[in-house]
Amino acid sequence: MDASINKAITAIAPQLQIWRRDFHQYAESGWFEFRTATLVADELSRLGYQLQLGKEVINADDRMGLPSPEQLAEQEKRAIAQGALPQWLSHFSGGFTGIVATLDTGKPGPTLAFRVDMDALDLNEDLTQQHRPHAEGFSSCNAHMMHACGHDGHTAIGLGLAHILKQFESQLIGRIKIIFQPAEEGTRGAKSMTTAGVVDDVDFFVAIHIGTGVPKGELVCGSKSFLATTKFDVTYRGVAAHSGAKPEEGKNALVAAAQATLALYGIPHHSEGSSRINVGVLNAGIGRNVIADHALMKVETRGETNQINEFVYQQAMNIIEGAAKMQGVDVDIKLMGSAQSSHPSPQWVNFISHLAQNKIPELTSIVDDKGQAAGSEDATYFMERTKALGGQATYLIFGTDLSAGHHNERFDFDEDVMSVAVKTLATIALSLPEFEQGHHDE
């Protein structure tokens, strides 16, 4: 198998680059992945995968940080102009840009799922010759949208994996799902796919990422460093008044937001683990001589565990609502995103680690977890649901050289990592009978 899979990976490597650069050039941020989703669906359909699309795999009520209907319609028109395939677009209209592709081998066995994400960031890409995507003609053509986190590579990896699995279908067992998730940035999309049931039949789950500071050639087999998080917008609404003539008639939304902001940073740390609180945006008022009648805060909490994050979140709610009462203003709180903390399944991590050491020579260093806490990932919803129903789950990080850090306007990565990722994921699928046997023998 090793020689044949190596040959297949070598053959598909140029196509991986073509896909990645196309997705990069036509970057689409969360819930706007119309063009990307139609191209992915078309390729998967051509390969013969069973497809579930749009509302079949996304629970409308659990989408977070959803743009306005007007914005969604505008971006859908933009996608059509940029080559979205009309025959698929109706499935994704309105921001239901999720896909689950299933390969049913017809042979007894477990269900294995891989998750990749498709969305770009709300960021303007660097357009200088020092930035390779611009120098080589594939920088984003969409203002304020850029693949600065590698999701263009993730989507290409998902498609490459789909091709390889079809080539080696006769050697596979059970069912294999590839989940193409929208709106990972801001941790907005996974919960809606989880509550739609897309992993309820999954026995083994793998989510992936490239980069994140992990060196080229290194694989992190079981990252558990993700913090639980809740992201929300706070809108205070007061009463405007002339600040000189009738200040007593005003209800100051700006002061409420300022008081809340300062108090949020006074939330105590938790004895059982690390926590975070941040107010990233505070906009208020309209004029120097007007009592501010509105204020907007964009806030996030994080915690090492779900319980710690919930503690910080509840403290934040008390403060935000208290500030409103102090100033006599109304307050509206809108959930914009969330993710959980999740620890990978040790047996599954151990199996993948040994597999990578023995069968993927391109990986020169295998570690179970680097323990680098800071960020959050909503793939944790898939992981926790899989585990809750008796399955096993993990999160893999493939190291690669980066031109700049994630979420930076000059972000780019060594495209060789895509072939390594496809080979590793395909090898996991092909080796599943081995793990199943050992799992049942214990």
Q: Please work out, in degrees rounded to the nearest 5, the angle formed at the alpha carbon of residue 347 by the alpha carbons of 102 and 151.
A: 45
Q: 322-338 in b/e burial notation, b at 16+ Cβ within 10 A?
A: ebbeebebebebeebbb
Determine whether the annotation assigns residue 407 to a binding site: yes
Sheet of strand 365-367, all strands in order from the earlier edge strand to the far edge? 50-53, 99-104, 175-181, 111-117, 204-210, 392-398, 218-220, 365-367
DSSP secondary structure letters along 378-429: THHHHHHHHHHTT-EEEEEEE---BSS-TT-TT--B-THHHHHHHHHHHHHH
Determine whether the annotation assigns residue 209 to a binding site: yes
**Treating both helix axes as pointing N-terminal to C-terminal, what angle do 34-47 and 151-167 enclose, rounded to 10 degrees?**
10
Tokens of 208: 């992936």
59: exposed, middle or buried (C-beta count within 10 Å: 0-12, 13-18, 19+)?
middle
Determine whether the annotation assigns residue 141 to a binding site: no
339 in helix, strand or coil? strand
Q: Which residues, in sequence order, are CB contacts of 244 under 8 Å at separation 6+?
A: 289
> What is the DSSP secondary structure assignment for residue 273, as one 8-state letter?
B
Beta strands 218-220 and 275-284: pairing type? unpaired
How much is the CA Rg of the chain, to the nearest whole Å?
23
- Rounded Cα gap, residues 326 and 306, in angstroms: 30
Closest CA to 411 of 223, 217, 210: 210
Is residue 246 within 8 Å of 437, Cβ to Cβ? no
Is residue 428 within 8 Å of 203, Cβ to Cβ? no
Closest CA to 392 of 383, 405, 379, 380: 383
Determine whether the annotation assigns residue 406 to a binding site: no
Determine whether the annotation assigns residue 439 to a binding site: no
Which residues are documented as binding site?
149, 151, 185, 209, 407
Binding site per annotation, positions for Mn(2+): 149, 151, 185, 209, 407
